[in-house]
Structure 1
């Protein structure tokens, strides 16, 4: 739909790997498509960059903390607050230099005038122009962490082949309704999953914006995508997946709901050496 209407892709993706793959972090974000959120592609790019920077700090901090309950308490209270605060600061920089006038309050809908004069201040409503969701993941040698606000999905295939969604559902996410980083209370809307990795790490972790899950009629069909990706890695290898996943997602979007689709994949390198069916 975005291509047909000449609109930008409002999704964003970022990742980072260090210590030879022992620390991996991925983030995907989905900027809101509403006309009121006309800078959301910028808001989503800001979100994923900040998420990766913070997850890198978490990975270093987690190595020094042996008590999981204390670690979880600290992360769940500080991560969302820091991310929301840093996101707002970057949004303010963008908004105050982009040449928007102040909010037009005489009209019933929220909108902005493009104007040659830079606005002198930013209001809470101004963040709406940059509204976005965020889904992020961190995997280290001893930690698995997911942090999410708004819609989007995380699927994990465990070492024994079980597929599950680690982050708790949010009952407020009905239809097109979603929580967002543009909300004044966004830091309270984050959902987390944090656990120590004591056994074998997952075979595959898939993060995706809601354009992917919305393309399927059921959760079972959606989960089959994660299995398919794992099978491709098993049988065709990483380069094949990298070279073909873009076309596959483009065709899926064209055939189904027409929404942006962005996927982030983290996989255990062992899957490249496993034979299909074993």
Structure 2
């Protein structure tokens, strides 16, 4: 397929967060420029030890979106994963520095700081960048990254993270986040990929079809984009996220990128 890429995102605060007067701890970012699209989502940890995770998530998506936009011209089938690994290393470095700057301006009690300066800001991050016929994916922590073909068949391009046990997640605030960094590069022309999406685990937690929801969601997004276009989806995405945020209780965020020439 020819053409560039475009993107959108949406979020909803979880019902548990509303009930317990917690802030929205998910964050999302979209960049589209000259046919290059970047999407990023982050899920700040809800535990009381991570009481500034909303700040950490916001920092994570802004920093990774900047880095991926800058890296897009350097992506290639040969060096793509190396480029993304460099982005991951720069993300950890810049996120840590930004957190320490925030902490300097907004200090915490000494006993809190003693447990770890980064701990209050703990967050996951998932991002995609699409340019030309290449799509790159980067992730630390839980949540989902999915690519979808023109025929609606979906795939998860990243390897599993052995550190995810269903109760805890790997994080930017851990001792060595790069141990949990996962990256992948997809040749969209070879695999006929026309759309990709990333979502926080609030989306999957509310689904009863644990094994198939991500495939069904991928097929639906391709069909809806082909039939109605992304502006139509952008108007409706926040409302679509209301149900999983209410049923699952967690903040729920989804971002997608698609070929600009994905049409009926």
Query: What residue number does 2:234 align with?
Result: 242
Q: Are 1:91 and 2:99 counterparts? A: yes
Alpha-carbon contact 1:80-1:188 (below 8 Å) kept? no
Query: What residue number does 1:252 align with?
Result: 244
Q: Decide which structure has greater strand share.
A: 2
Alpha-carbon contact 1:201-1:268 (below 8 Å) kept? no
Q: Are 1:15 and 2:30 counterparts? A: yes
| Post-superposition offset of 1:241 | 1.7
| Post-superposition offset of 1:69 | 3.5
| Post-superposition offset of 1:197 | 4.2
- 1 or 2 for the larger relative contact order (CA 8 Å, sep ≥6)? 2
Structure 2: runs of 5+ lacking an equivalent:
1-15
1:71-90 superposed matches below 5 A? 71-76=80-85, 78-90=86-98
| Post-superposition offset of 1:239 | 3.0
1:61-210 superposed matches below 5 A? 61-62=74-75, 68-76=77-85, 78-102=86-110, 104=111, 112=112, 125-199=116-190, 202-210=193-201
Q: Are 1:59 and 2:72 counterparts? A: yes
- Secondary structure (helix, strand or coil) at the match of 1:262 reads strand
- Secondary structure (helix, strand or coil) at the match of 2:117 reads helix
Q: Give the RMSD, CA atoms, in angstroms.
A: 1.9
Q: Normalising by structure 2, report the TM-score.
A: 0.87
- Secondary structure (helix, strand or coil) at the match of 2:197 reads strand
Measured against aligned partners, the alpha-carbon deviations of 1:29-67 in whole angstroms (never above 9, x if no partner) come to 0000000000000000000011011101211223xxx6x
The correspondence for 2:216, drawn from 212, 220, 224, is 224
The alignment of Structure 1 onto Structure 2 pairs a total of residues equal to 248
Alpha-carbon contact 1:253-1:259 (below 8 Å) kept? yes
Q: Which moved more, 1:222-231 or 1:6-15?
A: 222-231
Q: Distance in 2 between matches of 1:74 and 1:159?
A: 27
Alpha-carbon contact 2:80-2:136 (below 8 Å) kept? no
Alpha-carbon contact 2:71-2:83 (below 8 Å) kept? no
Structure 1: runs of 5+ lacking an equivalent:
105-111, 113-121
